[in-house]
Structure 1
Amino acid sequence: MGEIRNAERTQKNILEAARKEFFDKGFKGARIESIAENAGVKKQLIYHYFKGKAELLEAVLADSTTSEPEWVSRIPDHPLHIAEHRFKVNSQVRADFIKFSAWEALESRENPASWNKGGEAALQSYAAFWKAQKEKGVVPPDVEPELWALALTALTTYPIIFGNITQIITGCESTDPEFQSRWSTFLTRLSESILTKKNE
């Protein structure tokens, strides 16, 4: 039993060190040597558990998802509050991952989505959710649900990725609770203006 616990602890240390390395430096900049050093293990031991850097990143992303607080996966009862909820999730739980995603989007890789099938599926599910809301009449006829999903994704990630621009425009840090409260209120009001406008 002790060996199993030690192996689990070792893997946990590796994943924590890898998460910091990937999220700080991106996939290309991350080094297995640095991960091993920060995890307090030999490089060869990482290759014992993971085939390579790509598999290690996949494990980090999977672990990040399973270790999120329970409230993250709760969908608000009313669609008007979904943007506010997503911004709260992104700013309070997924900020490092959001920044990592932006970093990765700027790097030229042959298969940029291959490392994050879960994230790809989540975004497709988000678009499908809004398509279903349109069928229910929640999304107005003249609003394309895919574009609404894209707009909300942009609005709930931009202040996190571009904290410097957020600060220049608003005078507030994107991590400031007062700014986050104001932005959340704005997102709800924007959702209300779009989703409750009269059908033409």
Structure 2
Amino acid sequence: MNILGKIRDAERTRKKILEAAKEDFFEKGYNGARIESIAKKAGVNKQLIYHYFKGKEELINETIADFVSTVPPVNLILPANPAQIASFRYKVNQNHLMDFLKFTAWEAIEKIPPNTNGEDTRKKVLQSYVDDMRSKQEMGLVPESLDPALITLMMSSLTIYPLLYENVTRLITGLEPDDPEFQEKWTEFLDEISKRIFKMDS
């Protein structure tokens, strides 16, 4: 096999490991995932994983960075009208990020090493939302009295919680998060409160 062939083979192997790692980490959390299980799913020897990644911490960071890179850029570009951002993020979370969101729920109950779980990658995405809100504030589209970071946190809560905590959503509304009736009602609710906050017509 020539050098180019070896490089392509190595890239394919690394990709298989990352795909298997994503499945294991997202399903079981950081502490529940096992290198042995990831190796089996990837169809490789356990030692080969350590050839590509220094350990579990590097593997989870690379797994999340790889996952974020596969999210279509259009899903990360927020609408120009701030009153449309909440419903937009809700739709993206619902249609593209549910597996990842379920993984983040493990963080609430696990004790994990610092600087893992793709912290740097995720911070870049979330801070880009804060920067976007700050930019809209400078353009006069967001009330000056509102902190862009806190608005972003609020929107994250409103667009994740109902999806992630299915039982709470059902107990309060009588509807499941994946019920089209709930999805329509929640989208309308997000748009309505957003218009009140930003005092703009959608």
Q: What TM-score do the two structures reach when normalised by structure 2?
A: 0.88
Confirm or deny that 1:181 pairs with 2:195: no
Could you give the per-residue CA deviations for residues 76-127 of structure 1, whole angstroms, max 9, x where no partner exists?
Answer: 1311111111111111111111221221133233526673201112222222
Corresponding residue to 1:69 among 69, 72, 87: 72
Equivalent residues, number: 197
Cα shift at 1:170: 1.9
Confirm or deny that 1:115 pairs with 2:94: no
Cα RMSD (Å) of the superposition? Answer: 2.0
Could you give the per-residue CA deviations for residues 131-159 of structure 1, whole angstroms, max 9, x where no partner exists?
Answer: 23222222224333322221111001101
Separation in 2, partners of 1:8, 1:110: 28
Contact preservation (8 Å) 1:113, 1:120:
no
Aligned to 1:195: 198
What does 1:164-175 align with in structure 2 at a 5 Å threshold? Answer: 164-175=167-178
What does 1:2-151 align with in structure 2 at a 5 Å threshold? Answer: 2-111=5-114, 115-151=118-154
Separation in 2, partners of 1:95, 1:143: 29
Q: Which runs of 4+ in 1 moved over 4 A?
A: none
**Percent identity of equivalent pairs:** 47
Separation in 2, partners of 1:102, 1:90: 14
Q: What TM-score do the two structures reach when normalised by structure 1?
A: 0.88
Structure 1 residues 74 and 122, CA, compared in 2 at 3 Å: closer, same or farther?
closer
Aligned to 1:159, what secondary structure does the other structure show?
helix
Contact preservation (8 Å) 1:138, 1:195:
yes
Could you give the per-residue CA deviations for residues 155-198 of structure 1, whole angstroms, max 9, x where no partner exists?
Answer: 0110122111112222222123332232122111110011007x
Counterpart amino acid of residue 93 in structure 2: N
